[in-house]
Amino acid sequence: MPMFFFAKIFWIASQPVTICFLLMAASVFLMLFSFRRLAVAAGLLSLLLVFVSFYTTAGALIVQELEDRFPRPAAPADVACIIVLGGGIPTLVDGARGGYDLDDGGDRYIETVRLAGLYPNAKVIMSGGDGSLEGVGMKEADVIRRMFDDFHIDPARVEYDAESRDTYENAINVRVILQRLNLSRCLLVTSGFHMPRAVAIFRNLGMEVTPWVADYRTTGEEGLKVTVAYPLINAGLLSTGVREWIGIVAYYFAGRVATLYPQ
């Protein structure tokens, strides 16, 4: 539990937009106390980070590298189970409004519905709880249960883990389900940028899965350039890429994965 809260708080403090704010605040503070050179340096660093975040494709390059690590393979002839990891819906909104409002990661669920039709005998394991720091959101598995029911996936085929709050807990709880049902030959469905960390965790816990990317954020042909057309998308991609690498490194030093960047 302490690891979960530490990770959430650390990310709030280390994401690019927070660092920009802290640098600007430091610049003002230093100027008030007549540390002019340090104030100017902090201000320039904040401007540089704003420029890189909002007006370059640096974030797209980081995310693209993660996405390309595990190209989607040819469809297997036989699949015993389909594991989908949570992270594709805003649980706080859905808890208040109802329905299932898919966000950028919602392709995970659309692809799972498609795979469930392609492999009608495969079990489906949906792992996702409430990953918010406050613990006030609706559990993702409870929302997706409604979605899968609406898409007429036989409830007897689906196992739900509503207690996982992060990727490591996803893998721990999925392993229990796989052992209980004696399942192997599973597809692992998640976003492309998230796949390297997810695969590394599952392998470290003794589960061999076939990576099945369901959500891409880049074209696969990105280059480093200045662009002013989509500043919010640029900043979002940088945050996504930086957050994922922080997670990979943190899990490596915590012993949760055996390699920084799995093959």
Q: What does pTM read for this prediction?
A: 0.88
Q: Which residues of 12-44 are buried (b: 16+ CB within 10 A; e: fewer)?
A: eeebbeebbeebbebbeebeeeeeeeebeebbe
Residue 88 scores a pLDDT above 80: no
In this prediction, residues 210-224 reach a mean pLDDT of 91
Of the pLDDT bands very low, low, confident and very high (cuts 50, 70, 90), residue 2 is: low
Percent of the chain with pLDDT over 90: 53
The predicted-structure confidence for 169-192, as pLDDT tens digits, reads as follows: 999 999 999 999 999 889 999 999
Fold of 81-215: Rossmann fold (3.40.50)
What's residue 5's pLDDT?
A: 65
Task: Please give the sequence-ordered ranges of beta strands (E in DSSP) within 69-202, or none if there are none.
Answer: 81-85, 123-127, 158-161, 186-191
**CA-CA distance, 186 to 205, in Å (whole number)?**
15
Residue with tokens 């280390």: 14
Residue 1 has pLDDT above 60, yes or no: no
pLDDT at 207: 93
Q: Identify which of 242, 222, 217 has the alpha carbon closest to the alpha carbon of residue 61.
A: 222
Q: Is the C-alpha dihedral spanning 105, 184, 158, 167 positive or negative?
A: negative
**Residues 17, 235: contact at Cβ < 8 Å?**
yes
Model pLDDT, residue 100: 75
Mean of the per-residue pLDDT values of the chain: 88
pLDDT band at 83 (very low <50, low <70, confident <90, very high): very high
d(CA 31, CA 17): 21
Answer for the pair 139, 162: CB distance below 8 angstroms, yes or no. Answer: yes
- Over residues 120-138, the pLDDT tens digits come to 999 999 998 886 666 666 7
pLDDT greater than 90 at residue 68: yes
pLDDT at 4: 65
pLDDT score recorded for residue 101: 76
Instruction: Write down the pLDDT at residue 173.
Output: 95
Query: Does the pLDDT at position 92 exceed 80?
Result: no
Is 60 exceeded by the pLDDT of residue 210?
Answer: yes
Q: What is the mean pLDDT of residues 208-219?
A: 92
Q: How confident is the model at residue 12 (pLDDT cuts 50, 70, 90)?
A: confident
- pLDDT, tens digit (0-9, with 9 covering 90-100), for 232-252: 999 999 999 998 998 899 889
**Where exactly are the structural domains of the chain?**
2-67+230-253, 81-215
pLDDT given at position 112: 95
Q: How far apart are CA 249 and CA 220, in angstroms?
A: 24
